[in-house]
Each structure stands twice: as C-alpha cells, then as structure tokens.
Amino acid sequence: MFCYQCEQTAGGTGCTKRGVCGKDEDIQSLQDTLTFGLKGIAAYAYHARELGQRDEHVDAFMHEALFATLTNVDFDLNRYLELVLKAGEMNLRVMEMLNNAHTSTFGNPTPATVPTGTKAGPGIVVTGHDLLDLRELLKQTEGKGINVYTHGEMLPAHGYPELRRFKHLVGNFGTAWQNQRKEFDEFTGPILVTTNCIMIPKDSYKDRIFTCGIAGCAGVTHIKGKEFSAVIEKALSSPPLPENPQGTLSTGFHYTAVLGLAGKIIEAVKAGKIRHFFFIGGCDGAKPGRNYFTEFAEKVPDDCVILTAACGKYRINARDYGDIDGIPRLIDTGQCNDCYSAVKIALALAEAFGCGVNDLPLSLIVSWYEQKAVAILLTLLHLGIRNIRLGPSLPAFLSPNVLNLLVEKFAIKPITTAEKDLEDILNSPAK
C-alpha cells in the first residue's frame, strides 16, 4: 500500500507524514478493496457492452467510486465501507446484465456433456472468457475442417445453444489458466487467448499463440477486429492433433435449467435425501494450498450436492459424483460471472423454503485469485451472506481492523483443513 503523496508505505513505519497527509491503513485497505472490486466490475461491464448492453447506474458508480479513491478526498471509514458494499450491489447488477446479454445472444444454457482431449485433425484451442470472440471464430472456421476446443473458462460455452450448434466445436482441452504453459506446449495447433488470464508463453508455442480483444503479450500476434484468418492459416499449417479422447466434463447448469429441477430438489431436501449444498469454486491459481478444494469435494458425503463456477471447478470436476434421484451431485453453473446463476439458485431455494439464504443448508467455500473474485465476494457480502470460507489465504490488502470488521459483520472465515471445515459445517448450527 504505497502512498503517492508522502511516497512511503502508507501507515507503515516509513510513513513519516502520517497525520499530515491523513493516510490511514484502514482507509487505504478499503480503497484497495474498492479498486480491485471495480476492476472486476469493469471486466463484466466490458463484455456486456460488447454485446450491446450497458447500465447508466453502473457507469455512474464507477466514476464516483474511482473518484473516492483519490488522495485526501474522504477520511470517513464508514463511508468507504458503504462504497465497498455498494460495489457488491453494482457487481450483482452487472453480472445480471452480462447474464442477460449472454442468454439473449446465445440462448439459455442447458446441461451439456463435453468430450475432453483431442480429435484427429487440425484444431484451435480458445481460452479466456469472451464468448463473442469464440462465436466469430466458429463462424470463420465453419467448413474448413478445423476442430475448435474450449480451454479454462471457455468450457461453459458448450451449454449455449447458439454456440454448440457449430458441430466443429468438438470439446474441451486442458484445465485452468495456471496450467497453460504445460497444456499449450502439448497442443500442436494455434491457441487463441480472448481475455485474462494469460500466462507469459513459453518459446515452444509463442509462434502459435494469438491474443485478441483486451488480452495481449509482447512478441505475440494480436488479432484486431475479430478477423481470425492468421489463426486459421496457422491451424491448417500446424501438425494435426492426434485422436486422444480423455473422458467427459459436464457444464451448462444455468439457473433456468436448475430451477427446472426445483420441485425435485425441494422434495429431496424434505425427504432427507439431500442433506446439504456446498458452493465450491471461484478463481483458481497455482498456490499449493489450493488442493484443499479438491480434498474438500472428495470428502463431501454422498447425500450432499455441490455447486461450482469459474475456473476453480477444475479442482473438483474430474470425478463422477453421480446423482440423487436424478439431481446431479455436481452442478457447474458456468464462468465466474455465472456466480450470478448460483446466487439466483440460492435465492430461489430460500424463497421455496420460506427462509433467508443464511438459514439454508448451504455453505460457500470460495477460492479467490484476482479482481473478479473480489467483485463477486463483495456481491455476496452485499447480499448479507455469512460464514463464507475463503482461501487459500485471506486477501493481503485487508488491514487487521478491516478484516476484524468483516469477521464481526459477516463471519468470514479462512479455510483450515478440508476435514475440519467439513466437520464444522455439517455438525455445527452456525455453518
């Protein structure tokens, strides 16, 4: 936390001007939280705008909130807290807008079983989050004998009718973003990166990775105007991919599809066949402690259902979880933005059971990494959701006082061990 006014670490031992410039580590902490949240909101608003949707309230909030992060503009901690929670509200609004933009453009997702691995022949793998770029590439590759694969956060594309109608969208290759350098090394065709999260490419595949839209990397060809002929040429001139099937993954559980099962779900809960719901997901990363999420999902008892979203799903989705009376035990609602679907499902269940979301047999085990995850966390706090378990560690930008405040107000908890957390959740009244 660097103060650009006194040019020292704000509030730290080197901050000789504290009291003069008024910098305070708690205000700095909330300003940082707000800034990270705004970056996440901006990402979703950007995608929605590309699809023709915008919201004047969100735009106005972005301006106000960024203005509020200026030096010496406000020394009232409570006002910053209000702004941080308002950012959560705005993120809910922007996730709804993006959800509507996606569904009105590509149709409502429905559950899909997606082959993994590769098929024999030329192929292109697409990663990032931009479904519009994927559709443009699918249009431009149609009839050219090129297979298109999703990677990372593109997996949910297979749920959308207007994307899966392209027969050459053949499957998913690889896992989450942090495994790119190994996985892209193995993929012999071109790679198209549409957004974050891109890793600096290895030399071994630098000549066949392309960026477009917001993504970029020095020394890598950047595609402008969604004109993908260079990617197509590279696919046709690269060594063909081998026939290498590796199984299947499921996705496409948009809230409209899950709410179609609402009657069955309520019946199963009332009959004691479903004991608890867990949301396990969020942004993934390379930190070793993230194995926690895999272990947690493995230990979830058979009479519980797991919801997931974002690239954290790859920590848990390789297993077959089966079903409970036809209700899948693993429900992948989609990309990180599709946490909106998870929120809609939770709110609908609360309404059906005549209780608040915090009274449902539902626990949230959230992995965070970058700014979109911060925006989503703020949305959950804005909705008053308590007892969120957050990992692999708590955000370093939270000062001790701000963290205490969040613990007191929302009972946010750091993850401990999968065994202990699961036991606490299933055995204690305060989940």
Query: Where on the chain is the footprint of ligand SF4 (CB under 6 A)?
Result: 152-153, 177, 196-197, 283-284, 310-311, 336, 369-370, 372-373
DSSP element (H, E) containing 356: none
Q: How far, CA to CA in Å, does 6 sit from each of 25, 272, 398? A: 14, 61, 21
* Min dist. Cβ of residue 391 to ligand SF4 (A): 14
* Min dist. Cβ of residue 281 to ligand SF4 (A): 9
CA-CA distance, 130 to 398, in Å (whole number)?
A: 31
Q: Which residue, 152 or 190, is less far from ligand SF4 as judged by CB?
A: 152
Q: Which residue, 100 or 196, is less far from ligand SF4 as judged by CB?
A: 196
Q: Do residues 116 and 247 touch, judged by C-beta distance below 8 A?
A: yes
- Residue 426 CB neighbours (<10 A): 15
Q: Which residue, 87 or 311, is less far from ligand SF4 as judged by CB?
A: 311
CA 284 to chain centre: 8
* Residue 220 CB contacts under 8 Å (≥ 6 apart), including other chains: 201, 206, 209, 210, 211
What does 275-297 look like in DSSP terms, one character per residue? -EEEEEEE---S-GGGHHHHHHH
Question: In one letter, which amino acid is 341?
Answer: S
* Min dist. Cβ of residue 310 to ligand SF4 (A): 4
* Min dist. Cβ of residue 127 to ligand SF4 (A): 8
CA-CA distance, 301 to 304, in Å (whole number)?
A: 6
CA-CA distance, 199 to 178, in Å (whole number)?
A: 7
* Min dist. Cβ of residue 178 to ligand SF4 (A): 8
Determine the number of helices (DSSP H) and then strands (DSSP E) in the chain: 14, 18
* Min dist. Cβ of residue 290 to ligand SF4 (A): 11
Q: Which residue, 188 or 294, is less far from ligand SF4 as judged by CB?
A: 294
Q: Which residue, 122 or 152, is less far from ligand SF4 as judged by CB?
A: 152
Q: For the packed helices 262-270 and 339-353, what is the interaxial angle rounded to 10 degrees?
A: 50
Token pair, residue 30, equals 């909330």
CA-CA distance, 223 to 212, in Å (whole number)?
A: 5
Cα dihedral sign, 129-130-134-137: negative
Question: In one letter, which amino acid is 296?
Answer: F
CA-CA distance, 384 to 71, in Å (whole number)?
A: 30
Q: Which residue, 3 or 310, is less far from ligand SF4 as judged by CB?
A: 310
Q: Which residue, 96 or 153, is less far from ligand SF4 as judged by CB?
A: 153
How far from each other are the two terminal CA atoms of the chain, in whole angstroms? 33
CA-CA distance, 137 to 124, in Å (whole number)?
A: 9
DSSP element (H, E) containing 112: strand 112-118
Q: Which residue, 241 or 283, is less far from ligand SF4 as judged by CB?
A: 283
* Min dist. Cβ of residue 117 to ligand SF4 (A): 21
Q: Which residue, 131 or 336, is less far from ligand SF4 as judged by CB?
A: 336
Q: Which residue, 268 or 375, is less far from ligand SF4 as judged by CB?
A: 375
